[in-house]
Amino acid sequence: MAKIRVLVTDDHAIVRDGICALLALTADIEAVGEAANGRDALDMVTRLAPDIVLMDIVMPVMDGLEATRRIHKKSPETKVIVLTQYEDREYVLPVIEAGASGFVSKAAASSELVSAIRSVYQGDSFLSPSIAKLLVEHYRQTARLEKRNGSSEQLTDREREILKLLAEGHSTHEIAQMLVISPKTVERHKTNLMAKLDVHSRLDLFKYALRKGIVIV
């Protein structure tokens, strides 16, 4: 079985060493390179084509925000998980908007980082609980300022049902079992939802469902 190939980016060598040692203990993940800043990470993405980049935010030469933005544009198949000690809105929201697929606090357990890598590799998004709470509060505030545009009314009952389950964090296979339909059918509904709502990731579906009150966290 092919391993998930990860590039570790942090300006502190001791942090990189610790992460690489952790990943070496997993059977399905391997660290294929290390970068000390965003510019090096961008160059190594081109050379190594990793599946996942673990990205610090505050670094010299090029910070994680700019590096994430450039990687997302240049190599969209490479997913970025931000791994940082900063959990303030001023750091979190711009990086997610730049294209990050996951956000994990450095204070999180090592098992959470491994789970994040596996989830993002499988096409899902991953947010630490503290980051998810921050996003919930942000979009609750946004929702109070927005007028309903009526697009949720265009969804079928089944689409709304699947949207709710996706936003609650259930996997494709879990939804298929709950609704007694095939995983392919779930994926087809998910694709239709994204096209109908003009969104491009599971995180965007979560944001939409939260704004429209389809899911309450």
pLDDT tens, N- to C-terminus, the chain (217 residues): 789 999 999 999 999 999 999 999 999 999 999 999 999 999 999 999 999 999 999 999 999 999 999 999 999 999 999 998 876 666 677 888 889 999 898 888 889 999 999 999 998 888 877 777 766 666 665 555 454 444 455 788 888 899 989 888 888 899 999 999 999 999 988 888 888 888 888 788 888 888 777 876 5
Q: Collapse the DSSP code of 102 into the 3-class scheme (helix H, G, I; strand E, B; otherwise coil) and give the result.
A: strand
What amino acid occupies position 87?
A: E
DSSP state of 8: E
Contacts of 142 (CB under 8 A, 6+ apart): 211
Map tokens 């939260």 to a residue. Answer: 210
Question: Domains of the chain by range and CATH?
Answer: 4-135 (3.40.50.2300), 148-211 (1.10.10.10)
Q: Residue 109, class by beta-carbon neighbours within 10 Å (0-12 exposed, 13-18 middle, 19+ buried)?
A: exposed
Cα gap 178→62, rounded to integer Å: 45
Largest CA distance in the chain: 52
